[in-house]
Amino acid sequence: MPASQMETDTVQSLTKVELLNVANNKTMTYTIVSPHEANTRERKISVKSPIAKALLNRKKGEVVEVHVPVGLIKLKIVNISR
């Protein structure tokens, strides 16, 4: 099945996720990819990264807490697409 026809109800590998940082109201968009495709300049993060791990199988509207090197951040899932 082509990626464009796959479900986008939850965050999965190859989904593009728009996030809102709850603390500072800044939005960011990442695509969840395999580790060898990860490229932060292109906003592609590894499925094994802390952010991706926290987002996997979550739905639009959910808020997740992510432990990152600078501490704990809360991210709200604004949109999920392919």
**pLDDT, tens only, 4-61:** 545 689 999 999 999 999 999 999 999 999 999 999 999 999 999 999 999 999 999 9
Among all chains, which residue has been given the structure tokens 């926290």? 54
For residue 8, the model assigns a pLDDT of 82
For residue 64, the model assigns a pLDDT of 98
Strands across the sheet containing 71-81 = 44-46, 26-33, 16-21, 71-81, 63-68
C-alpha 21/C-alpha 50 separation (Å) is: 15
C-alpha to C-alpha distances, 43 to 9, 17, 38, 63, nearest whole angstrom: 21, 10, 8, 20
pTM > 0.75: yes or no = yes
- Domain borders along the chain are 3-81
CATH of domain 3-81: 3.10.50.30
For residue 1, the model assigns a pLDDT of 46
